[in-house]
Amino acid sequence: MTDSVQQSIEHFVTLFDVRFLPLGLSLYRSLREHSPSAELWVVCLDPQVEFDLRKLALPGLHLIPLQSIESPMLLAVKPTRTWTEYCWTLTPFTMEAVFSREESVRRVTYVDADLFFFDSPATLFQELEESEKQVLITEHAYAPEYNQTATSGRFCVQFMTFNRSEAALDVAHWWQERCLECCSEVPVDGKFGDQKYLDEWPTLFGDAVHVLHAKTKAIAPWNVGYFLTQSPGELQPVFYHFHGFRMYQGGWLRWYSGYQIPERGESFYERYIASLNHSFEQLREREIQISYPALDRSPLEIARRWKRRWKQTEAWYRLRNAPF
């Protein structure tokens, strides 16, 4: 492979367990659709998802077994953390895991498994390159009515690009150390998981870290309604973060929870459902089955409870002939 071709390849890394496999497949397909040469690395959080992904044998998909990145420091904190906290603790180590496995990789972008691409991320990388900095992060960009900056942080660990450079690795190593110290899923002493630490980066690493200016290219349930009201036309995001999307027995899908999303915003979910149906077909063809938790009450009851308590809504959808 020539140097010019290699430099055009973008590398992404994510992590998920078997229950997120359909979402991970949709992430992969959307990424390859809009960035055909993209390579996706997956930290497999359980043996089953590793087995299933090997069975699928998808081009441009690379597997990183969990135990292969579990250093003595990570194993030391593992018993003291919930599964969610431990997964968050792993995130700062994922980019370096890719760098160490492939010397030709010039930069790595961490992406959450519940992201879905609607356009090429090339515009985001262009903004990073024009900034002449080494790390790219994105803001939550909360709508005013959903502002959780005080507890969840200004920035979102959803799409983060790190160049292979000393300055970028300094940021990653600092982040690793902080997450080993504390990665609580409950806000405590100004910290929250792996995420609140990013608030310090513009001050500590201002010469290295670039904050994405194009906020409407990275949308999520907490800002899609606001951006739609501010935009004269349709939104054209690079990706949508399907935060809160969950699957339950009987084919029930919870689209989102705790937010009011206008009808125009739900079109993103309709396209996501279409992609997930493709994911389920892939799994059926390979006779891959996944078990999901049962609902403890009907979706209607849950929606009513949330509406009474928070004056916000949930959205539900039931798949026909669901494989779970």
The tens digit of pLDDT for each residue in 168-199 reads 999 999 999 999 999 999 999 999 999 999 99
Quick one: CA dihedral 22, 187, 151, 71, positive or negative? negative
The tens digit of pLDDT for each residue in 256-287 reads 888 889 888 989 999 999 999 999 999 999 99
Mean pLDDT (the chain, rounded) = 92
User: Which pLDDT does position 313 carry in this prediction?
Assistant: 65
Residue 174 in tokens? 């600092």
CB 249 within 8 A of CB 324: yes
The DSSP result for 160-213, as a single string, is EEEESSHHHHHHHHHHHHHHHH---SS-BTTB-TTTGGGGGHHHHTTTTEEE-S
The tens digit of pLDDT for each residue in 136-149 reads 999 999 999 999 99
Least confident of 2-16, 42-56, 199-213, 286-300: 2-16
Number of H helices, E strands in the chain: 12, 13
User: Which pLDDT does position 316 carry in this prediction?
Assistant: 77
Distance CA 36, CA 38 (A): 6
Asked whether residue 309 carries a pLDDT value surpassing 80, the answer given is no
Asked whether residue 311 carries a pLDDT value surpassing 70, the answer given is no
Q: What is the mean pLDDT of residues 22-30?
A: 98
